[in-house]
Amino acid sequence: MKLIAITGGIATGKSVISRYLRSLGYPVIDADVIGHEVLDREDVKAQIIAHFGDVLDLDGNVDRKKLGLIVFSDKDKLRELNEITHQKITDEILNQAKELAIVNDEIFVEAAVLFEMGLDKCVDFVIVADCPDEMRIQRMILRDHLNYQEALKRIHSQMQREEYLKRADLIVDTSGDINRTFDQIFEMLNKKPWCGKI
């Protein structure tokens, strides 16, 4: 079984790649979905309230937007949140991968904070989605209804673009139209570069 990561900064097109892979029948584990599930666990919720105060919504779940405003403005707060959640998310990803490996030779995992979690040490191959920062800002303004400064803060809260590129086994340029992105993925699946990687 090969575990193949899809990563990159916020709004670089990771989800577009994941959706295309799923449409072709490949299993993709979404670390963000697992992260949301982890945030809703009672033990984690208690730790979040202890560290960040009342960040719950009316239903008693963690209000991610409220929490995001705190952690994306303060690197120490973001580090605290990561210390609470990252290991739990990693454990669940690896559990799901083991189950999927029973019937799949190749399993993809979409993880924005792959390197920060140390999950890169558990995967066989790293795909980085990439486009210029200005394009990412525009995507966040449209998609997440953030203003320019909020979008910029989110970019600055993550690893720098150059660092992602340096650590990539393969880079997918998502700055063109969607079909160009799909062509790169299709070519990658034909070549299966992870098969030759030891």
Region class of 13: left (phi > 0), else alpha (psi between -120 and 50), else beta? left
Neighbours of 171 (CB within 10 A): 15
Which amino acid belongs to residue 61? N
Task: Confirm whether pTM is higher than 0.85.
Answer: yes
Q: Report the pLDDT value the prediction gives residue 4, as an integer from 0 to 100.
A: 98
Per-residue pLDDT, 124: 97
Per-residue confidence (pLDDT) for residue 197, from 0 to 100: 65
Dihedral class, residue 106 (left if φ above 0, else alpha if ψ from -120 to 50, else beta): beta
Please give the pLDDT value at position 198.
52
**What DSSP state is assigned to residue 73?**
T
Q: What is the pLDDT along the chain (198 residues), one digit of tens a residue?
A: 999 999 999 999 999 999 999 999 999 999 999 999 999 899 999 999 999 999 999 999 999 989 988 998 888 999 999 999 999 999 999 999 999 999 999 999 999 999 999 999 999 999 999 999 999 999 999 999 999 999 999 999 889 999 999 999 999 999 999 999 999 999 999 999 999 765
pLDDT score for 114: 96
Cβ–Cβ under 8 Å, residues 33 and 141: no
- Helix and strand numbers (H, E) in the chain are 10, 5
Is the four-CA dihedral 62, 17, 135, 133 of positive or negative sign?
positive
Q: How far is CA 73 from CA 14, 68, 117, in A?
A: 23, 8, 20
pLDDT of residue 73: 84
Tokens read off for 130: 């990439």
Instruction: Report d(CA 37, CA 5) in Å as an integer.
Output: 20
